[in-house]
Structure 1
Amino acid sequence: MRTACKHCGAPIEQQARRGRPKEYCPDGDCQAAAKREREMRRATPGLEGALARVEDLYERMEKGLAAAIEPLAQVLAEELSPAGVEAKLSAIQAEAHTSVAIARAEREQALEQVRLAREAAEEARREAEESRRRAEEAYTERDTAFADAETAREQALAALREAAGIERRARQETAAAVRRAEAAESAREQAVRELADRVDRAEAEAAET
């Protein structure tokens, strides 16, 4: 890139992105001559001198501003250069790779947590099913025990009733046997009395004859 010298107008070869551009011929005395002319103009009385002083002030302000902006421009130039862009892209890619690795690790961790939660839920379901089965078995055993107890109670009542019937019949038979024995004894005594009466009558009759 080329610019014109501010004093003589000759073209000046500028190096891209290497600080402030050159304003005067690097090999000549254009810069010193321009300085002398500015000093002479500033010393001139009247409007021309005032304009020269204003121009000089503006030039100094422009140079100060350029000096202040130059570091920022240099940083931007470095970042926008192929190497800077490549470094920025590398940093972005590294950050992206890190983010992807973190996301993958978090996804794997979440999948592992989901797997563990599913296993815990399945284990809880199996335990609940086993508890339900055991409860049903306990209810069945309870019902069976109640049925067995009811059967035993009914059998005990039947045995008691049967025993009471046997005892009642035994008492009745005993009473009947006692009555039969008493009747037999009474009949024996009657027969003995009758036999004794016949013997007495026979003896009496024998004595009379």
Structure 2
Amino acid sequence: VTQSAEARERLTELTPALLKAFGQTRRADEALIRFDEFLAGLPAGIQLFSLLQSNPALLKLMATIMGAAPRLAAIITRRPHVFDGLLDPALLTELPDRAYLSARLAAFIEGDRAYEDVLDRLRIFASEQKFLIGVRLLAGSIDPARAGRAFSDLADLTIEAALQAVIAEFALRHGSIAGGRVALLGMGKLGSRELTAGSDVDLILLYDHD
């Protein structure tokens, strides 16, 4: 990340603001360690350092994520590309309701894709949107009840898309079963639409045929 002279120069310029932002978190040492792990997963740091230097609000949000939200920090460290979602100016004003998530999902998996590709993209979409819902909750733009509905809608839509992909792949490989019907029943917090970022998803698969 800091192999180039320009990257080291940008980081040097950013350091005072970086230390101030992270010093205001409840666990500054842990926050800096997580930030370092995040940087280690980036191919280059010049663009990131420039963005953080020119956008104090973004730097504060990153420090808050790293210091107060270990689950969110883990997601952005494993999948650094979700950082791009933080650059959306409408992030904290758009409400992640079912219609919003459905439109985003449809655009993300559109096209004639192979079965494994669809499943891979669903995993990416779910991880990214889970992260962004958590960021909205952390920033206070949505309350816990609305976040619970958003997490539940995200799970519901992703599971539905995965089920449709499985049905299509099964029919392609084995043909259709006469009168075949299948449904998924969401239990627990999914059923009550109270999922959190760390909730398990409990499902019952129901099926029938002639």
TM-score, normalised on structure 2? 0.21
Bigger radius of gyration: 1
More helix per residue: 1
TM-score, normalised on structure 1? 0.21
Which has the bigger relative contact order, CA under 8 A and spacing at least 6?
2
